[in-house]
A and B are shown apart, each in its own frame.
Chain A
Amino acid sequence: MSNKRKAVALISGGLDSLLAAKVIQEQGVHVEGINFFTGFCVEGHTHAIRKKDKAKPKRNNALWVAEQLNMKLHIIDVIDEYKSVLFNPKHGYGANMNPCLDCKVFMVSKAKQWAEENGFDFIITGEVVGQRPMSQRKDTMPVISRESGADDLLMRPLCAKNLPETLPEREGWVNRDELFDFSGRTRKPQMALAEQYGFKDYATPAGGCCFLTDKSYSEKLVDLWKYRGSKEYELDDIMLLKVGRHIRPGGDYKLIVAREEGESRFLQGYKKGFTWLQVMSHGGPLTLVEGKIKEEELPFAASLVARFSQGRDADKVTVKCVRDGEETIFDVKPLPPYEIPEAWYV
């Protein structure tokens, strides 16, 4: 049996984790990747839903990285466990609803648990000191090591020389001299290293790796919690926040209006559990009603939905509404745009 040391690498799909794993592979360590699916990950979803994005080639970047490195990738569903990270992050949120520091602690601790269960010796990440304002600072990096319980089993090959020695370095499994001392927000050293290894066409995500760093997405999530009265969510809720226009004319309900054919088709899959509206007399998007809508509010919702149909300038538009399996037909005049205040858009 080989006595090759084994490392598990947190793979986000970006350049840094690709390089970190490669640097350690180059030192003769067996590396496998691990990628966590929180439900908020950017990977592919909007491309899969929106028709206009279909022309662009779509790939899962974490899988792409694994293939470049000829290593296995384990994708772990952490949707439910992640809720506790997001509900009440000990270290707070970043610029939007992104709890990056707690998120990193959580992911490293999960990786540590996985490493123990699968006989791996240490954990690596692509973190770089000073790269991100919240989770990748000189003072927060030890917090991740400590609070995840990984301590000196956690190594960041791209900036290891700026950090205290870790166990794999002390034990000689990894040669510290061949690690790096990258720091700060510049991407130049990473790009040079990628060039040296011959990596091209790697992903360069702006912002972060998940929807929680997105302002408009975060506002929709906060709105959802506010009107539900609690920070609860299911996977379907957070998926629906990625789709359509969200319009809240009243406190108790919100309309999710598809913006194009691909979104309408995606929302079709949710018709069963929701009240929904569809313009019949003209082309128009499928609309789901999220929350509690009163019977007497339905004609108004129909006129709002009509506004987003091809009959927006017509005098009369026919809208079908299905609620608890019961169908009602409304003939309405579309709401003029000036009667839809900006503030209704979530």
Chain B
Amino acid sequence: MSKISLDLRGLLCPLPVIRVQDKIKTLESGDQLEVTCTDPGVMHDIPTWCRINGHSVLSSSRSDYEFVLNLQVGGADRG
């Protein structure tokens, strides 16, 4: 299992979702991906995208202007 981070600061939705989607395509089931974003929309959009495509959000946190989500890649049929 690998753990990867992605800096998505400055990108507006849906670009952070697209970057997460494209990154996850290259990962294995069980891998973890940590993303750091500035668009507050990610707190809604990334979990929704994960739910419909079978991945999990392990944790999410926010500071003043930054949002960090820890994701785990789901089963073999990845979105």
Closest-by-CB residue of B relative to A242 is B12
> With an 8 A cutoff between CB atoms, is B40 at the interface?
yes
> With an 8 A cutoff between CB atoms, is A310 at the interface?
no
Report the separation of the CA atoms of residues A269 and B39 in the bound assembly, to the nearest whole angstrom.
Answer: 12
A327 nearest CB across to chain B (Å)? 23
**Mask: chain B, 10-47; 1 = CB below 8 Å from A; 0 = not:** 10111101100110000000000000001111001100
Which secondary structure dominates chain B's binding surface?
A: helix
> With an 8 A cutoff between CB atoms, is A328 at the interface?
no
> With an 8 A cutoff between CB atoms, is A273 at the interface?
no
Contact of A71 among B22, B52, B65 (CB under 8 A): B52
Report the separation of the CA atoms of residues A45 and B40 in the bound assembly, to the nearest whole angstrom.
Answer: 11
Report, as a range, how many residues of chain A touch the other chain: 20 to 34
Chain A contacts of B10 at CB under 8 A?
A: 269
**Mask: chain A, 46-89; 1 = CB below 8 Å from B; 0 = not:** 01110000100011101110110011111111000000000000
A48 and B79 contact, CB distance less than 8 A: no
A60 and B17 contact, CB distance less than 8 A: yes
B18 and A75 contact, CB distance less than 8 A: yes
Contact of A45 among B12, B52, B53 (CB under 8 A): B12
Report the separation of the CA atoms of residues A196 and B15 in the bound assembly, to the nearest whole angstrom.
Answer: 34
A37 and B18 contact, CB distance less than 8 A: yes
Closest-by-CB residue of B relative to A62 is B14
B52 and A60 contact, CB distance less than 8 A: no
- Whether A60 touches B14, Cβ cut-off 8 Å, given contacts A47-B41, A72-B79, A75-B21, is yes
Chain A contacts of B48 at CB under 8 A?
A: 59-60, 63-64, 66-67
Report the separation of the CA atoms of residues A59 and B44 in the bound assembly, to the nearest whole angstrom.
Answer: 7
**Mask: chain A, 20-53; 1 = CB below 8 Å from B; 0 = not:** 0000000000000001010001011101110000
> With an 8 A cutoff between CB atoms, is A231 at the interface?
no
Closest-by-CB residue of A relative to B40 is A48
- Whether A59 touches B21, Cβ cut-off 8 Å, given contacts A44-B14, A72-B52, is no
Chain B contacts of A265 at CB under 8 A?
A: 65
- Whether A63 touches B40, Cβ cut-off 8 Å, given contacts A44-B12, A45-B12, A74-B79, is no
- Whether A49 touches B12, Cβ cut-off 8 Å, given contacts A59-B44, A77-B18, is yes
Report the separation of the CA atoms of residues A47 and B44 in the bound assembly, to the nearest whole angstrom.
Answer: 13
Report the separation of the CA atoms of residues A153 and B13 in the bound assembly, to the nearest whole angstrom.
Answer: 31
Report the separation of the CA atoms of residues A253 and B74 in the bound assembly, to the nearest whole angstrom.
Answer: 50
Chain A contacts of B79 at CB under 8 A?
A: 72-74
Closest-by-CB residue of B relative to A66 is B52
B52 and A48 contact, CB distance less than 8 A: no
Report the separation of the CA atoms of residues A158 and B49 in the bound assembly, to the nearest whole angstrom.
Answer: 26
Report the separation of the CA atoms of residues A35 and B65 in the bound assembly, to the nearest whole angstrom.
Answer: 28
A119 nearest CB across to chain B (Å)? 13
Chain A contacts of B45 at CB under 8 A?
A: 44, 59-60, 63
B41 and A44 contact, CB distance less than 8 A: yes
Chain B contacts of A71 at CB under 8 A?
A: 52
> With an 8 A cutoff between CB atoms, is B51 at the interface?
yes
A48 and B15 contact, CB distance less than 8 A: no
Report the separation of the CA atoms of residues A158 and B39 in the bound assembly, to the nearest whole angstrom.
Answer: 35
B13 and A60 contact, CB distance less than 8 A: yes
Report the separation of the CA atoms of residues A75 and B22 in the bound assembly, to the nearest whole angstrom.
Answer: 9
Report the separation of the CA atoms of residues A64 and B44 in the bound assembly, to the nearest whole angstrom.
Answer: 10
B51 and A67 contact, CB distance less than 8 A: yes
Chain A contacts of B53 at CB under 8 A?
A: 72-73
Chain B contacts of A340 at CB under 8 A?
A: none
Contact of B12 among A35, A48, A54 (CB under 8 A): A48
Known: A48-B40, A63-B48, A67-B52. 5 other contacts (CB 8 A): A43-B13, A44-B12, A48-B12, A73-B52, A265-B65
Q: List 10 A-B contacts (CB under 8 A).
A: A47-B41, A48-B39, A60-B41, A63-B49, A64-B48, A66-B52, A73-B52, A75-B49, A77-B15, A239-B12
What 9 A-B pairs have minimum CB-CB distances, sorted nearest first?
A: A63-B48, A44-B13, A48-B39, A72-B79, A60-B45, A66-B52, A269-B10, A44-B41, A77-B18
